[in-house]
Amino acid sequence: MEGYEPIMSFGEDVAEIYGDLQRGDESATVVFLEQLAGRGPALELAIGTGRIALPLAARGIRVDGVDISPAMVARLRAKPGGDQISVTIGDFADVPVPGTYRLIFVVWNTLFNLLTQEDQVRCFENVAAHLTDDGSFVVEAFVPGFLYRLRSDQYVDAEAIRVDEVRLDVLRHDMATQMIEESHVSLSSAGVRLNPVVQRYAWPSELDLMARIAGLRLKDRWGGWNREPFNSTSSTHVSVYGR
Ligand SMILES: C[S@@+](CC[C@H](N)C(=O)[O-])C[C@H]1O[C@@H](n2cnc3c(N)ncnc32)[C@H](O)[C@@H]1O
């Protein structure tokens, strides 16, 4: 997508939408992460508005964060407990924090917001440098299979149809580059609003090789936060890497 910069996807408008957004599996996510974090500390890459970091910190674990978007972090800060979390504004591929962590995690497909294989590998390498010897790196991401079943490698989905607004999700997939170009389009009397997002996806097996390049190994892979088995019907995976 010519002219696209990742920060464009996470401005004020989107931060407002994400502000109180819940997916429904937050409790299971927190229980899963808490078990791996032990006494902590934990680091969330792309912490956003604190959907996971805040309830995890409420369990008594120190949680730090990294995020590129001041707008998203401002929403986190405004929530109860948000001022207790140390957040570094920066690119999570750099893991731009001092010290080591018992748990580092990146959820909700966000690893794929790093748009090159090079950046994704760099992320794994920097994570490895910040993990304690017994530490875990947890990645939650979608399994790309559905992209290969699209007609003409694209779709337009009606997300909402109301009397005063229509919202469409428009996506195109490039199998050769493993890139997805997507925009959430709002059409209303206020005009047209676009929310572009680009992702570079990877199959779980490619992530495992990235981990090995970084000196880490796959310890566990689940089909969800409740430790559902990972198999050919899984649309998502929760992968745990360690030394
Ligand atoms: C889908 S939101 C997820 C937020 C949070 N992890 C959650 O699960 O609710 C993605 C977040 O990734 C951040 N982000 C995207 N690319 C980034 C990058 N290269 N470095 C740091 N943060 C990034 C965005 O600003 C946004 O807050």
Tens digits of pLDDT across the chain (243 residues): 989 988 888 888 888 888 788 999 999 999 999 999 999 999 999 999 999 999 999 999 999 999 999 999 999 999 999 999 999 999 999 999 999 999 999 999 999 999 999 999 999 999 999 999 999 999 999 999 999 999 999 999 999 999 999 999 999 999 999 999 999 999 999 999 999 999 999 999 999 999 999 999 999 999 999 999 999 999 999 999 999
Cβ atoms < 10 Å from Cβ of 164:
7
Task: Give the residue whose CA is nearest to atom 15 of ligand 1.
Answer: 113
Task: Give the residue whose CA is nearest to atom 12 of ligand 1.
Answer: 46
Residue 15, pLDDT score? 86
Task: Give the residue whose CA is nearest to atom 27 of ligand 1.
Answer: 48
Residue 61, pLDDT score? 97
What pairs with residue 188 in β-bridges?
165, 191
Interatomic CA distance for residues 157 and 171, integer angstroms: 9
Is 88 a pocket residue for ligand 1 (Cβ < 6 Å)? Answer: no
Is 46 a pocket residue for ligand 1 (Cβ < 6 Å)? Answer: yes
Is 95 a pocket residue for ligand 1 (Cβ < 6 Å)? Answer: no
- Cα 136 to chain center, whole Å? 16
Residue 12, pLDDT score? 87
Is 92 a pocket residue for ligand 1 (Cβ < 6 Å)? Answer: yes
Cβ atoms < 10 Å from Cβ of 201:
18
Cβ atoms < 10 Å from Cβ of 55:
18
Per the structure block, which two tokens stand in for 160? 């909402």
Residue 208, pLDDT score? 98
Place of tokens 């996506």: 171
Is 6 a pocket residue for ligand 1 (Cβ < 6 Å)? Answer: yes
Residue 9, pLDDT score? 87
Is 107 a pocket residue for ligand 1 (Cβ < 6 Å)? Answer: yes
In ligand 1, the atom with minimum distance to the C-alpha of 109 is 1
Q: How far is the CA of 115 from the centre of ligand 1 (A)?
A: 13
Is 69 a pocket residue for ligand 1 (Cβ < 6 Å)? Answer: yes
The torsion angles phi and psi of 37, rounded to 5 degrees, stand at: -70, -25
Q: How far is the CA of 70 from the centre of ligand 1 (A)?
A: 11
- Cα 242 to chain center, whole Å? 19
Question: What's at 236, amino acid-wise?
Answer: T
Contacts (Cβ under 8 Å, ≥6 apart) of 42: 33, 56, 61, 62, 63, 64, 101, 102, 103, 104, 105
Is 68 a pocket residue for ligand 1 (Cβ < 6 Å)? Answer: yes
Task: Give the residue whose CA is nearest to atom 26 of ligand 1.
Answer: 48
